[in-house]
Amino acid sequence: MLAVGEHYLAPLPEVLLRVSNPFGGGVVGCRQELCGALSGSILILGALWGRTSSAEKDDRLKALISRLREGFVARYGSTLCQPIRDVARDEVIGCLPVVEAAVEMLVPLIEEEIEHGASPARENVREKE
């Protein structure tokens, strides 16, 4: 959340940091659920393009999240915390390699969407400098 959120969301709403916190370690450290880096990435996509009403379509967001998920599966063979840790975790720096990989997957998706005219929620997006 922090790695990409501060770049695209300005300022990064504190509530997003709070809601993303429990996802670290595959949901409160159990390591048996969705990877925290993937969860945070999904939350950012939702903050940028999520719907605020059930009357709105969210097909584009679902397609983005599917592409992101497929990237994790292709890279790590899973979206779950423990299997990803088994592949990518470093004893000294922990899950930083996974966070870096998530950023490398997420930023191009966001940039591609913006380039193709998908306007994020204006109140949530930092103006390009």
Place of tokens 């390009």: 128
The CA distance from 36 to 31, in Å, is 9
Alpha-carbon distances of 83 from 39, 40, 77, 99, rounded to whole Å:
15, 18, 8, 15
Alpha-carbon distances of 91 from 35, 50, 80, 85, 116, rounded to whole Å:
17, 36, 19, 10, 40
Q: Report domain extents, the chain.
A: 2-117
Tally of CB atoms within 10 A around 11: 8
Q: Residues 78-105: what's their mean pLDDT?
A: 91
Question: Per-residue confidence at 10, pLDDT binned at 50, 70, 90?
Answer: confident
Of 36-45, 105-114, 115-124, minimum mean pLDDT range: 115-124
Q: Residues 47-70: what's their mean pLDDT?
A: 94
For residues 73 and 122, is the Cβ–Cβ distance under 8 A?
no
